Amino acid sequence: MGENQDGLKRQEINLDKVNEELLDILSLLIVLESDMEAQKSDSVHLRLVGMVHDGVKRIQGNLPKSGSQEE
């Protein structure tokens, strides 16, 4: 029983770590998008960055919620 709880705790910590890293990536993508818009960057590149941003948000949204995220 103890091993199972330890495994679940590790899985929750890993899930929290993945979520944190995805949030960091999303933050960087938002900054990049804003900068590209301000510099009037090529619309193809801006569109690609937007697609990556949407994909990362979708991945994050599909992650199961850990105990600390449900509170």
Predicted confidence (pLDDT) per residue in 11-67, tens digit: 777 888 999 999 999 999 999 999 999 999 889 999 999 999 999 999 999 988 765
Nearest residue to 27 (alpha-carbon basis) of 59, 57, 61: 57
CA distance 71 to 68: 6
Q: Work out the pLDDT band at 71, boundaries 50, 70, 90.
A: very low
The reported pTM is 0.71
Residue pair 60/19 in contact (Cβ under 8 Å)? The answer is yes
Q: Could you tell me the sign of the dihedral formed by the alpha carbons of 11, 15, 20, 21, in that order? A: positive
Helices (H), 1-71: 2-38, 43-62, 67-70
> Could you tell me which residue, 37 or 6, shows the higher pLDDT?
37
